[in-house]
Amino acid sequence: MLRSLLLVALLAPLATAQPTPTLVTLEVGALPPSPPLQSPVSTELTLTASCAILQPPLTNVHFRVTSKPTWSTAIISPLDTVLDPAQCGPSGTLSTHATVHVTTTDAAPGFRPAPIVITATVQPQSTPEHSASATTNVTASYFSRLDVTVADPVKTVQPRETTEYAITIHNHGNAATRVRFETINVSPGLDVTLPGRVVVGAKQQGDANEKDEVVRVLAWEGSEFTNTVGSVNVRFFSESVEDGTQGENGTLSLLLTTRGAAVDTMHRVPEPLPLAAFALVAGVVLLRRRT
């Protein structure tokens, strides 16, 4: 008898510690990548409620966005709906659906998911409300906006002289961007050295979004008596570092006027000897004559 009482005493807490049944659940689907400043992307919400909490004739359901990134907008449609207890079947639950539409601004960092939290509340007329929340992530897709400028696109040099064109690459896009250069038109007599591949960060991702580079041009030909005007056209191409998505392209135009005497970089005229060295040479010559 004592053993039976002890067994009952041990099992009693287990019997009373049963999990509370889930009365309301909310599920939300995955959002596709969101192109900033374009049409919204959408996914479906599914609310499921236990018939035990529904009251006739109809029980109200309300959806709301409880958290989202500052660079996004989230709209739920419909915000409000109803559940009809008369529709309850053998499953003992009823479900209803809504859609969340999300847009992103150009302040959204590319490829960086951020959570959107949605809450649904079932509102019976005379009993407490029941709520459930679910989270989905919004990720802005890559967009490119490059500003590539030349500080001084018009230069003048002597023949065989090298000059530098300072260029600045400003990335207004939302993710790190790789930029490459190639010449598409170079006047005869000019030799061009371009920057290598350049990676420029994005401010939205917390990185510096500006870089300075140099295009070097060597003018081989020219006349001491006439001006020779040449040009260099440089094409730039860009792509996302993350996934290779093509970005903006553009062209830089550089002008170079060559005039004056050539700079002789191989056979320079010897500079005059210093006075002390000249005196030393003269002394040596006189000494040889005496001997």
Task: Give residue-wise pLDDT tens across range 100-153.
Answer: 999 999 999 999 999 999 999 999 988 899 999 999 999 999 999 999 999 999
208 is written with which tokens? 């510096």
CATH for 146-258? 2.60.40.10
pLDDT band for position 259 (cuts 50, 70, 90): confident
Q: pTM for this structure?
A: 0.75
Contacts of 8 (CB under 8 A, 6+ apart): none
Mean pLDDT across the stretch 42-65?
Answer: 96
Where do the CATH 2.60.40.10 domains begin and end in the chain? Answer: 19-138, 146-258
Specify the pLDDT at position 20.
Answer: 58
SS3 letters across 13-60: HHHHCCCCCCCEEEEECCCCCECCCCCCEEEEEEEEEEHHHCCCCCEE
Q: Are 196 and 216 in contact (CB under 8 A)?
A: no
Residue whose C-alpha is closest to residue 134's, from 65, 49, 40, 50: 65
Give tens-digit pLDDT for 188-225: 999 999 999 999 999 999 999 999 999 999 998 765 66
Separation between Cα atoms, residue 118 and residue 208, nearest integer Å? 34
Give the CATH number of domain 19-138: 2.60.40.10
Mean pLDDT, rounded, for 58-74 = 97
Query: What pLDDT is recorded for position 222?
Result: 66
Sheet of 130-138: strand order equals 80-83, 59-67, 114-123, 130-138
Residue-level pLDDT at 224: 62
Phi, psi (rounded to 5 degrees) for 250:
-170, 180
The conformation of residue 268, written as its DSSP 8-state character, comes to P
Looking at 6-10, 34-38, 214-218, 246-250, which range is the least confident one? 6-10
Query: Is the predicted pLDDT of residue 77 greater than 80, yes or no?
Result: yes
How far apart CA 90 and CA 111 sit, in angstroms, is 45
**Is it the case that residue 3 has pLDDT exceeding 70?**
no
Q: What average pLDDT does the segment 178-184 reach?
A: 97
